[in-house]
Structure 1
Amino acid sequence: MKSRDIRKQFLDFFEAKGHLIVPSAPIVTKDDPTLMFNNSGMAQFKEFFLGNGTPKSRRIADTQKCLRVSGKHNDLEEVGIDTYHHTMFEMLGNWSFGDYFKKEAIHWAWELLTEVYKIPKDILYVTVFEGSMEENVPFDQEAWDIWKGLIGEERMLLGNKKDNFWEMGEQGPCGPCSEIHVDIRSSEEKAKIPGKELVNRDHPQVVEIWNNVFMEFNRRADGSLEKLPARHVDTGMGFERLCMVLQGVQSNYDTDVFSPLIQKIESITGATYTIKAANDSEEKINIAIRVIADHVRAVAFSIADGQLPSNGGAGYVIRRILRRAIRYGFTFLNKKEPFINELVAVLADQMGDFFPEIRTQQSLVTNVIKEEETSFLRTLEQGLQLLENIITEAKDKTVSGQKAFELYDTFGFPIDLTALILRERGLNLDEAGFEAAMQEQKSRSRAASEVSTDDWTILAEGAGETFVGYDQTENEVKITRYRKVDSKKDGLLYQIVLDNTPFYPEGGGQVGDKGVLVSANDTIEIIDTKKENNLILHMAKKLPSNINATFTARVNEKLRSDSASNHSATHLLHQALRIILGTHVEQKGSLVSPNYLRFDFSHFAKVTDEELKQVEDFVNERIQEHLPLVERRNIPFRQAVEEGAMALFGEKYGDTVRAIRFGDSIELCGGIHVRNTADIWYFKIVSESAVAAGIRRIEAITDEAVKEYFAKQEQALGEINSILKNPQDTIKAVVSLQDENAKLKKQLEQLLKDKAKNLRNELAKELKEINGVQFLAKQVDLDPAGAKDLAYELGSLDTNLFIVLATAAEGKPMLTCYISKELVAGKGLNAGQVVRELGKYIQGGGGGQPFFATAGGKDVNGINEALGAAVEFIK
């Protein structure tokens, strides 16, 4: 059975049981600050479990793209080493929100597995929660009795809290679960050890495939449990593992989910994937191929959903996954050039029907991965050079763990590659020192991100407040709930929920509103507004003295107005780019703040100055047309798109949406906008740059910020005119000054060259013969470029020269080494090694070619010692 048929049968089965089939949420989370990625099927439904929202149906089924490489669920280092852990995986799930419970969930799971998929009953096992005295939660008798009638006690096991009590996090909905495990070992292996003894023992062929979670408790901040007002079912079945079982293979990687990728890797690299490795060498190749086949899925879908690789947050996680794949290809498949990007086409063909984003974004994903590969392969080359420096400093054949950590942390050079190279060179790695440095960094990171969150104090029940901020910036409100949150990053804050609010919560790129809550006795400053699990959270540093008072919620109108101006300009900018550059342009990220706007978009080349001017002019023409805002709320998503509204990739839209229109610009948007484009006043682009392969970034300003910009430009021009003695034509005066400077620069270069030639004749007299080599080590009064010219001038005099010159221009020491090529070949001398050694005396280092190399440093006082040590190389 093909994987696409397996997926379809699951969804068809639950649709027939009255479930609404919904699409996968993006793999990258947008409105949940507690998660970087969707790490489980239930993540997109958290608000329903928490009671903060109402689902479209009380029965839902889907397949969710999940990523588990950070936080509590971190499988990254196991991926590829075994055959059943993955970074990205699909989670097939069926959900009941206060509807059916254990009986239906268990019976349907059994029916689907044994009657539809026809998995033999005698290879299945189930686990049931044994209960917990410390939690005061009893043994799950109900689930036991249901399963007993279906599978029999001989195939049932009790599970402890670790294995059979599922929790969303440290706080929140939770409950006992019942897992279904499958034993796909051979008959001979089963005869040796019963499958029951291998359940939950990390055996690669005795694995969990389905988990039925019965949500009936809420975990409070103090660790206690309380009953939820309604009971829910949250299930998850590992799609890749299910395919392994139904396709009769022994590994997820042997299914058609991965085999097309593996075949492509074999074709590109010439390596062969063997189902059962015969030796250590074959197994290393197998692991590398599994790592690459797995990781490209995670990276490609994350980029398609809008998360680019970067140096922080979720982007860093994606970069780390990709670099791990590149490193395995570099080390074990001997691939020194980009190739992983070529696998995106296979993914698009394989999964594009069900996940159209990978096909639509194929070109972008390919380009981004290729540039990341190119960049990291350069990093690996630089790392190898730096590692050579570290090796030369090693004492007692042991490389410092701290130095290895710096190489890993600063340059991204993988520690396992460092260890591999050292072993090949007969050296040891101070692993304890490396681990200590790693733990110290992790401790700093944990300390910086520690958050303590209290339970909600509920003043009035409700599923979240009404947002009235589209129509007003001030309203009478009551506090319905609040809680205290203490973190190292933000300090002590209170999160306040209101019965209605004019405050816009951060979302869609726009920052959250600021303002105040005012009562008869208090003025509480709201420093930010965010949204979490369908609740709008107003951040304050203190609570009012009377929490039950009626307040006036008042938004800071100046900041709101500036944000609105920038947000509306962002829409016009998007329209301009698509018209001027082409319809391939798509938004890939944005930031709308009161101070400026930032817009990331897909485009294959630098935007020229002429194109930028056209874009700027286009937006300003729309501003001058005084286009009114046409806003439509709560219209069906499909209708809005059919009418021309632009939906953004990576965003999750509901059944009804809000459409914003200025003239011909129509976009789906929940943000705050001006009433008329005239309110923007003027649009000015201040920068254009690259973010990643195929992604450009424009930063721009509007309204008051433009007025300030023009004022500063005028002031700067005035100062320039003053310096130039107020010329009639400022531009002509500057050009004349540049021409004069260029002429003087050429004259200076010529003088320095003449000086080098003169010095050549003087220094030629100072050459000393040592062991048949003409030797000179001397400090000269030149800049580094002059020292290079001088070295080559001297080099033209003889074929057995060994020269080290030192300079200290502007207080920066530099060593220049020249060795005749005949000496390099005949005596094995290497200028690169010479400057690396001598560079230590000036607290620096460097490198170059065997016949010419340079080293910079920090300590000019070490020059004499370095020059004195140079002779040791030929003594």
Structure 2
Amino acid sequence: MKSQDIRAKFLSFFEDKKHSIVPSAPMVLKDDPTLMFVNAGMAPFKEYFLGNAQPKNNRITDSQKCLRVSGKHNDLEEVGYDTYHHTLFEMLGNWSFGDYFKKEAIAWAWELLVDVYGIDKDILYVTVFEGSDDDDNLGMDTEAYDFWKQYISEDRILKGNKKDNFWEMGDQGPCGPCSEIHVDIRSAEEKAKISGKDLVNMDHPQVVEIWNLVFMQYNRKANGSLEALPDKHIDTGMGFERLCMVLQGVQSNYDTDVFTPIIREIEAVTNKTYNKDEEVDVAIRVISDHVRAVAFSIADGQLPSNTGAGYVIRRILRRAVRYGFTFLEKKEPFIYRLVTVLSEKMGDAFPELKAQKQLIENVIKEEEQSFLRTLDQGLVLLNRIVETTKGDTVSGEKAFELYDTYGFPIDLTALILSEKGLKLDEKGFNEELQKQKNRSRAASEMSTDDWTILSNDSEEEFVGYDSLEANVKLTRYRKVVSKKDGEMYQLVFNLTPFYPEGGGQVGDKGYLEDAHGDVVYILDTKKESNVIIHFAKNLPKHINENFKAVVDEKQRNRTESNHTATHLLHQALREILGTHVEQKGSAVNSKYLRFDFSHFSKLTTEELQDVENFVNARIEGKLPLVEKRNVPKEEAIADGAMSLFGEKYGDTVRAIRFGQSIELCGGTHVKNTGDIWHFKIVSEGAVAAGIRRIEAITNDAVKDFYSENNRTFFEMKDLLNNAKEPVKALQNLQDENNNLKKQIEGLLKDKAKNIKGELRSELAEINGIQFLAKKLDLDAGGLKDVAFDLGSQFDNLFLLFATEQNGKALLSCYISKELVASKGLNAGKVVRELGKHIQGGGGGQPFFATAGGKNPDGITKALDGAKAYIV
């Protein structure tokens, strides 16, 4: 059975059971501070489990893209070394929100696996929660056990511990016991040697879990205790890749048709063969897995970067590159070439792959090129470390610096050192790595209290589109303590005018005022699992009274100007550059706007001016805001509204129109484009391959911009003696300066010629080597010219020159190549050691190297130390 058919059969089965099929949510989470990525099928539905929202249908089914590479669920290091862990995987799931429970979930799971898919029941095992004797004091899940007895013999129902059979969302939140379904696909001979029940949850590659049925019936509180949920839920997740392995009769996920087309393409582009050499096999598995994770992340709007989720994606891609570099001997980009076969294989189920194919290829290729350059640089730095290492062991501290500062992989460091007959201080490296992790963990440590409920009014209404003030009532609050922000309070109201951060727009600030005149400032507003949360340093004194909630009007108005300008900018770019332009990210606050978009080249001055003119024409046109709220998504798109890949939209949406610009958007906007006043681009540049970024300002910021430019102009004009034509005067100064530079260069050359003649007579022969160490009144270029000129005239030459420029010291060392070969001398090593006298360092090639330092007083000692290398 092909993988496409396996997925379709799962969804249609639960559709027949009255479940609504929903598309996979974007993998990158934007409104959940507890998670970077969707790491389980339930993550997109947290708001339903928490009771913060109600789904249209209490029964849902889907195939959700998941990524497990950070935090509690992290499978990255296992990937490639076994046959069933992945970074990205599909999780087939069925969900019940307060509807059916254990009886139906178990019955339907059995029906699907055995009756529909035709899996032999004699290769299946199930687990149930055995209970715990800790503070939870939970008994065995006898209810699930009794249901399972109706379908499978009791010797195949195994009791599992809390670690394996009690599922928790996190330290707090909904949780409950679970039943796992495991499959034993070993040969009959292997089964005769040891029973499958003894291998369940023992990381055996052919005895694996394929489906987990979670029975959500408790809530974990901040103090660790459990309370019963008012409604009981079902949350199931089946590993699609593992199911394909079982149904296709193979022994590895990588032997299914999910991966084999990618593996064949890797074989073709690397001239390596899968299933012949274990190291090559691991590398091919790593690459075939990682390209999926990276491609889907980019399609969902997450580009590789140096921070946050982007750093995780970059790390995954670099892991793939270094496996190709080390074990497949690929020294040039090739992973981007796998995107075509990936989109052909999975593009029907996930159309974002086809739609974003060119962008994905461009980004991956540029990242590959960049990291391969990093590897080349790292090899040079590693060679320097090797040269200066005394003994046979490279310190863990130096290896960690290479890893942390330059991104050079530690396993590649260890491999190269072993080839050179050296060892790596792995203990020292791990200690440095742990110190870094501890610093990072300490910086992000946070404790969160349970919500204190003041009102049963769980409906929270946002009124900020229509008003910046509202009379509100506090419905719940909790205290949060973090090292970064200290003690903060999170407040939730029955209604709020504060816009929560989202869609690139910053959250509102403002204040609360009670009837007694007491004020609490709202420092930020965010949305978490469909709840608008207001951040304050203090808890209001009179928590049970009503408050007047007031948004900072000036900040909101400036932010709205910038947000509306992003819509007009998007329209302008598509009109002027072409409809290939798509928004790839934005940031909107009261000071400026940032807009990322897909485009293949730098914008010309003329194009930037055209874009500015286009936007300002719409501002001058005073286009009114036409807003449609809660319209069906399909209807809004049919009207021409643009939707963005990577955004999670509900069944109903909000459409924003200014003239011909129509977009789906939840942010706040000006009532009329005339309110923006003016739009000015301040920068344009590349973010990644095929991604450009424009930063711009509007309204008051533009006024400040022109005011500052005007002040600078008159200051410059004053410096030019109030020239009537300041541009022409400045050009004349530049021409005069260039002429003077040429004259100085000529004088320095003449000076260097005279010095060369003097230096020939100062050379001293020591042990057959022509030696000279001297301070010269030349710049760095002059020192090099003199050294190479003498080198062309004399053999066996050892020169160390020094100079002082602008309060800093410079050393230049030249050693004839025949001396480098015959005596083992190395100019790079010389300047690194003698550079200590000038409190600096440097390097270069064995025959020529330089070092700079901040202590010119050390020049004499450096020159005096040169002779020691040849005596």
TM-score, L = length of structure 2: 0.98
- Tell me, yes or no, if structure 1 residue 195 matches structure 2 residue 190: no
Q: Relative to structure 1, is the Cα distance of residues 207 and 330 closer, same or farther in structure 2, using a 3 angstrom cutoff?
A: same
671-680 or 844-853: which moved more? 844-853
Q: Is the 8 A contact 2:75 2:87 kept in 1?
A: yes
2:524 counterpart (503, 509, 528)? 528
Q: State how 1:572-587 maps to structure 2 within 5 Å.
A: 572-587=568-583
Determine the structure 2 residue equivalent to 1:106: 106
Shift of 1:815: 2.4
- Tell me, yes or no, if structure 1 residue 716 matches structure 2 residue 687: no
Shift of 1:394: 2.2
2:485 counterpart (474, 490, 513)? 490
Q: Distance in 1 between matches of 2:448 and 2:173?
A: 11
Q: Is the 8 A contact 2:172 2:221 kept in 1?
A: yes
1:159 maps to a residue whose letter is G
Q: Distance in 1 between matches of 2:190 and 2:369?
A: 46
Q: Relative to structure 1, is the Cα distance of residues 333 and 835 closer, same or farther in structure 2, using a 3 angstrom cutoff?
A: farther
Q: Distance in 2 between matches of 1:353 and 1:791?
A: 66
SS in structure 2 at match of 1:34: coil
Q: Is the 8 A contact 2:274 2:281 kept in 1?
A: yes
2:283 counterpart (266, 284, 288)? 288
* CA displacement 1:9-32 (0-9 Å, x = unmatched): 111111111110000001100111
Q: State how 1:18-33 maps to structure 2 within 5 Å.
A: 18-33=18-33
Determine the structure 1 residue equivalent to 2:399: 404
Q: Distance in 1 between matches of 2:533 and 2:112?
A: 42
Q: Is the 8 A contact 1:684 1:702 kept in 2?
A: yes
Determine the structure 2 residue equivalent to 1:219: 220
Determine the structure 2 residue equivalent to 1:641: 637
Determine the structure 2 residue equivalent to 1:706: 702
319-328 or 855-864: which moved more? 855-864
Determine the structure 2 residue equivalent to 1:864: 860
Shift of 1:253: 1.0
Q: Distance in 1 between matches of 2:645 and 2:751?
A: 63
Shift of 1:401: 1.0
SS in structure 2 at match of 1:552: strand
Determine the structure 2 residue equivalent to 1:116: 116
Shift of 1:854: 2.5
SS in structure 2 at match of 1:127: strand
* CA displacement 1:327-346 (0-9 Å, x = unmatched): 11111111111111111111
Q: Distance in 2 between matches of 1:119 and 1:243?
A: 11
Shift of 1:842: 4.0
Q: Relative to structure 1, is the Cα distance of residues 627 and 639 closer, same or farther in structure 2, using a 3 angstrom cutoff?
A: same
SS in structure 1 at match of 2:318: helix
1:371 maps to a residue whose letter is E
SS in structure 1 at match of 2:170: coil
Q: Is the 8 A contact 1:518 1:552 kept in 2?
A: yes
1:540 maps to a residue whose letter is A
1:358 maps to a residue whose letter is L
Shift of 1:824: 4.8
- Tell me, yes or no, if structure 1 residue 506 matches structure 2 residue 507: no
Q: Relative to structure 1, is the Cα distance of residues 838 and 264 closer, same or farther in structure 2, using a 3 angstrom cutoff?
A: farther
Shift of 1:841: 4.5
Q: Is the 8 A contact 1:831 1:849 kept in 2?
A: yes
Q: Distance in 1 between matches of 2:758 and 2:193?
A: 88
Shift of 1:33: 1.3
* CA displacement 1:453-497 (0-9 Å, x = unmatched): 111111112444111111111111111111111111111111111
Shift of 1:260: 1.2
Q: Distance in 2 between matches of 1:581 and 1:867?
A: 61
Q: Distance in 2 between matches of 1:232 and 1:873?
A: 78
Shift of 1:799: 3.8
- Tell me, yes or no, if structure 1 residue 663 matches structure 2 residue 697: no
Shift of 1:668: 0.6
SS in structure 2 at match of 1:63: strand
Q: Distance in 2 between matches of 1:288 and 1:360?
A: 29
- Tell me, yes or no, if structure 1 residue 265 matches structure 2 residue 261: no
Q: Is the 8 A contact 1:117 1:246 kept in 2?
A: yes
75-84 or 844-853: which moved more? 844-853
Q: Distance in 2 between matches of 1:121 and 1:41?
A: 26
Q: Distance in 2 between matches of 1:506 and 1:842?
A: 52
SS in structure 1 at match of 2:42: helix
789-798 or 58-67: which moved more? 789-798
658-667 or 462-471: which moved more? 462-471
Shift of 1:833: 4.5
- Tell me, yes or no, if structure 1 residue 144 matches structure 2 residue 145: yes
Determine the structure 2 residue equivalent to 1:40: 40
Determine the structure 2 residue equivalent to 1:688: 684
2:421 counterpart (409, 416, 426)? 426
Q: Relative to structure 1, is the Cα distance of residues 822 and 430 closer, same or farther in structure 2, using a 3 angstrom cutoff?
A: closer
1:186 maps to a residue whose letter is S
Shift of 1:844: 4.1
Q: Is the 8 A contact 2:127 2:179 kept in 1?
A: yes
- Tell me, yes or no, if structure 1 residue 373 matches structure 2 residue 368: yes
Shift of 1:117: 1.0
1:706 maps to a residue whose letter is V
Q: Distance in 1 between matches of 2:340 and 2:393?
A: 45
Determine the structure 1 residue equivalent to 2:541: 545
* CA displacement 1:110-147 (0-9 Å, x = unmatched): 11111111111111100000112331322111110111
422-431 or 135-144: which moved more? 422-431
- Tell me, yes or no, if structure 1 residue 132 matches structure 2 residue 132: yes
Work out the number of aligned pairs and report it. 869
Q: Is the 8 A contact 1:753 1:789 kept in 2?
A: no
Q: Distance in 2 between matches of 1:854 and 1:640?
A: 65
Q: Distance in 1 between matches of 2:324 and 2:836?
A: 35
715-724 or 166-175: which moved more? 715-724
2:158 maps to a residue whose letter is L
* CA displacement 1:769-797 (0-9 Å, x = unmatched): 23333222222121111211222222232
1:345 counterpart (328, 333, 340)? 340
2:732 maps to a residue whose letter is S
2:755 counterpart (754, 759, 762)? 759
Q: Is the 8 A contact 2:458 2:494 kept in 1?
A: no
Q: Distance in 2 between matches of 1:858 and 1:113?
A: 73
- Tell me, yes or no, if structure 1 residue 358 matches structure 2 residue 333: no
* CA displacement 1:580-639 (0-9 Å, x = unmatched): 111111111101000110111111111111111111111111111111111111111111
Q: Distance in 2 between matches of 1:648 and 1:88?
A: 22
Determine the structure 2 residue equivalent to 1:329: 324
Unaligned runs of 5+ in 1: none
SS in structure 1 at match of 2:51: coil
Q: Is the 8 A contact 2:105 2:234 kept in 1?
A: yes
* CA displacement 1:561-584 (0-9 Å, x = unmatched): 000000001100111111111111
Shift of 1:840: 4.7
- Tell me, yes or no, if structure 1 residue 301 matches structure 2 residue 296: yes
Q: Distance in 1 between matches of 2:704 and 2:122?
A: 76
- Tell me, yes or no, if structure 1 residue 72 matches structure 2 residue 75: no
Q: Is the 8 A contact 1:182 1:208 kept in 2?
A: yes
Q: Distance in 2 between matches of 1:270 and 1:651?
A: 39
2:13 maps to a residue whose letter is F
Determine the structure 2 residue equivalent to 1:84: 84
Shift of 1:798: 2.5
Q: Is the 8 A contact 1:52 1:462 kept in 2?
A: no
Determine the structure 1 residue equivalent to 2:435: 440
Q: Distance in 2 between matches of 1:314 and 1:308?
A: 9
* CA displacement 1:721-746 (0-9 Å, x = unmatched): 11111111111111111111111111
TM-score, L = length of structure 1: 0.97
1:141 maps to a residue whose letter is T
Give the root-mean-square deviation of aligned CA atoms. Answer: 1.5
Q: Is the 8 A contact 1:464 1:535 kept in 2?
A: no
* CA displacement 1:735-778 (0-9 Å, x = unmatched): 11111111111111222221111111111111122333322222
Shift of 1:679: 0.2
